[in-house]
A and B are shown apart, each in its own frame.
Chain A
């Protein structure tokens, strides 16, 4: 296949960015999207140019590092698929593909397609944990958990923290990310003692980082590579409101 790529280039956080156009040929349908970038980068290096910087690591769809906004969609056209798992059989000869970084003021660009997502770490630091020191645990089977609750907690915990939800949202809201963690821990008895404080603190940190508000468009769920459900946002809203009421009491 022959393709035209329009890729966002930005030298660093201070510099002004622009699109650069590349023609690539000999793209195999069996390549992953990132392997096409590898081939292009190899060519750029051989031509004495700077390769395109992009985050990637596991290339198995689980680490959450890859983060490309492809033709107006976070992680490209395939449903519930990260950029690294997107394969070139999704495209046809002659296609033009526009690739941008995640766009959100809480995710400043580092270089080209690489952004800084440390805001997500700080949201977790605000309360995305159960306060249990090593060695304090009771026997694992001493806490039976309803299978449905356990399955829902797992489904929420499957979030890979890639930030596609933020990139897909017109408000750059981080509600899906935050709610997934709040939900996971709220659904489990172990998370119960801290659930009110957790919901309040994590939402406060999310706001402080400069993420936008949620207006329930559902774009985050539609673009999430792990299928994290909007129901988590509803649960976070309930948790947050309940926490607000009871903290007054």
Chain B
């Protein structure tokens, strides 16, 4: 059994007690301690900046051309915080409770409580940095609601909250770069973790412009490299998002937690053809005002606006009257799939449902007319006013939809379908965010810790920033306090030499295959296996087939991939090849994990385990644990378990009815 090192004592005092008793490093010693941060999204940028402010010497790495482009930038909807500014009954406990329940009782109570506890300070910090959150006319901050909750606790900046939060963290990071406390390495990719005497002591990185391998020493290494949704090829992730840093850490000894826990987001723009390179999310905030429906008749070919009200099935409102269109993502996604599989889907592919704003436009238009004292305005004017209000709230999302589909969402309902969006699984970490390798930490989406089997909307930004701003600055000291006598390890140490040789070997092998098929060819094939057999619904037979198919594909990849260009130059195909090689190994583990977990929970839906109404049915007796996989060689993983104990929230069948 793995020990998460959760502090003893009542839930509400665990973190404050930890903070008051944790070991400290004095300022003079901090200057001598070096920390490597991989990734500069919300978790990485906030960690790098905060640690540098404390006085540590930080090196930060990102594969993009600038730290500002990390994929946190694309998060649209918002960030949760238990501020209770709306006086609607929110509290730290409620945010904690909603998150544990939303995660279908597969997250750690201690971690989630801490997350809820620090959430309010994140908003304060961001505002102090100049993050321009949405405000009311009185000058105070505005909130909206998000799926899976009944309070308004989500702070937002139009549909660009991730961008604004990331630019806040990025500016804090750039300030530390200017002060000389952070050395920034952009267009660099980490390709191995270097261990000395069992501890993480550095990395091997490749300069993506020159192709040169570099050795970097650190007293500790933080993996903040995001999630692995791109294992499905098509996802809402950026094209470059990858598992490589996390996977190399895994192969260096860090256990991988709950790899099969994937979030399929219900509101994305459907696939339009074989050329599709990625899927675009339409923020969950759209479900606040939009209504989701399909025709009551199968294969209905009428235009949506020609289908009368009584012939529409608002299936979320029908099935879940209490939460309606605001059910959590896993529930909404499965319900959409169920309707489409049953033949009620819409659009050319029939793999889509409608997200309709007609009612919201009329509702907002009526309010606006009343505000202007024009209660008897004609319907067209009311609709025009309503469109204005909707444009102010969601304009950038509607514009994006129009550009991608060529349709006007103010006039006709949007077509949406679920797509891979986020991965709850990730490197296993203890309460201090340390992996099973001493000195090696994982933060943000790269770790598995806080979202259980399903993440609630607006919680990813919260977790990334919580880890970076408010958790790691305390917990890393507990480790580094004992490292003050460790001198920087020379880069010609055998551990560095050997690690670089291994990395060089893999690059040589890849370049020398000179096969017939492009990297994307293999990536698409892997994505199809994963989506068909380890996607929104999984079963034993399909998962077993998937494992065999992935193994065969992996073999073919290493025989037949074609990488043009050279190794010692800017070569995006070579970068992609290394990432797909890692995705192939991860995909196999995800299927093994999904096969092992013979229960449904959150986003993990095993067809064999469902209630009579088709909801996910957990098996707490046998599966109330975190699956932490240890790498034992190619295709060989050992399962370790961390028992989940619920002292406060007692697991029940989740209900949103």
A contact residues vs B (CB 8 Å cutoff): 12, 28-32, 34-36, 38-39, 42, 44-46, 48-51, 53, 55-65, 78, 80-81, 85-87, 89, 110-111, 114, 116-118, 120-121, 124-126, 128-141, 143-147, 150, 153-154, 157-158, 160-161, 184-185, 188, 190-191
Given A85-B404, A141-B140, the answer on whether A124 and B174 have CB atoms closer than 8 Å is yes
Q: Is the CB of A147 within 8 A of B136?
A: yes
B544 interface contact, C-beta 8 A: no
Given contacts A42-B518, A57-B240, contact A117 B141 (CB under 8 A): no
Closest CB-CB distance, B446 to chain A, in whole Å? 17
Give Cα distance in the complex from A92 to B546, angstroms: 42
Q: Contacts A45-B562, A49-B564, A129-B129: A57 and B64 contacting too (C-beta < 8 A)?
A: yes
- Is A64 in contact with B69, judged by CB distance below 8 angstroms? yes
Main secondary structure of the interface of A (DSSP, over half): loop
A45 partner, pick from B53, B184, B272, B564, beta carbons under 8 A: B564
> Is the CB–CB distance between A128 and B174 below 8 Å?
yes
With contact pairs A35-B276, A49-B564, A129-B129 given, residues A141 and B171 touching in the complex (Cβ less than 8 Å): no
Q: Mark B108-145, 1 if CB is under 8 A from A, else 0.
A: 00000000000001011111111011111111110000
Contact between A147 and B66, CB atoms less than 8 A apart? no
Q: For the complex formed, measure the closest distance between the CB of A28 and the CB atoms of chain B, giving whole angstroms.
A: 6
Please indicate the chain B residues that have their CB under 8 angstroms from the CB of A138 in the complex. Answer: 124, 128
Number of chain B residues close to chain A: CB under 8 A? 80
> What's the minimum C-beta distance from A113 to chain B, rounded to whole angstroms?
11
A137 in complex: contacting residue of B128, B160, B175, B186, CB < 8 Å:
B128
Q: List 10 A-B residue pairs with CB atoms under 8 Å apart, sorted by A's residue number.
A: A35-B277, A45-B518, A51-B564, A87-B406, A130-B128, A130-B171, A131-B175, A145-B139, A154-B157, A157-B167
Minimum Cβ distance to chain A for residue B597 (Å): 32
Our pick among B141, B473, B521 for the contact of A134 (Cβ within 8 Å) is B473
User: Does A146 contact B64, Cβ atoms closer than 8 Å?
Assistant: no
Contact A28 B238 (CB under 8 A): no
Chain B's nearest CB lies how many Å from the CB of A203? 16
User: Once bound together, how far apart are the Cα atoms of A219 and B104, in whole Å?
Assistant: 52
Do B403 and A185 touch (CB < 8 A)?
no
Give the residues in chain B near A140, CB-CB below 8 Å.
Answer: 83, 123-124, 126-127, 133, 141
Chain A residues with CB under 8 A of B342: none
Contact of B64 among A32, A65, A190 (CB under 8 A): A65
Is B273 touching A28 in the complex (CB atoms < 8 A)?
yes
Could you tell me which B residues sit within 8 Å of A by CB distance?
Answer: 46, 49-50, 53, 64-69, 71, 73-74, 83, 85, 121, 123-130, 132-141, 157-158, 160, 162-164, 167, 170-172, 174-175, 177-178, 184, 186, 209, 238-240, 272-273, 275-278, 280-281, 399-400, 403-404, 406, 469-470, 473, 518, 520-521, 562, 564-565, 569-570, 572-573
Q: How far is the CA of A138 from the CA of B470 in the complex (A)?
A: 15
Contact partners of B121 in chain A: CB under 8 A: 135, 137
- A139 to B125 CA separation, bound complex (whole angstroms): 9
User: Knowing that A55-B65, A62-B74 are A-B contacts, what are 12 other residue pairs whose CB atoms are under 8 Å apart, sorted by A's residue number?
Assistant: A32-B277, A32-B404, A42-B521, A46-B518, A126-B178, A129-B175, A130-B129, A132-B129, A135-B470, A150-B132, A150-B135, A154-B164
Q: A128 and B171: CB pair below 8 A?
A: yes
Contact between chains at B74 and A136 (CB < 8 Å): no
Contacting residue for B404 out of A64, A87, A128, A134, CB 8 A? A87
The answer to whether A59 touches B160, judged by C-beta atoms less than 8 angstroms apart, is no
Instruction: Determine if A42 and B520 form an interchain contact, defined as CB atoms under 8 angstroms apart.
Output: yes
Do residues A63 and B128 form an inter-chain contact, with CB atoms below 8 A? no
| Interfacial chain B residues near A56, Cβ < 8 Å | 239
Complex-state Cα separation, A160 to B163, whole angstroms:
8
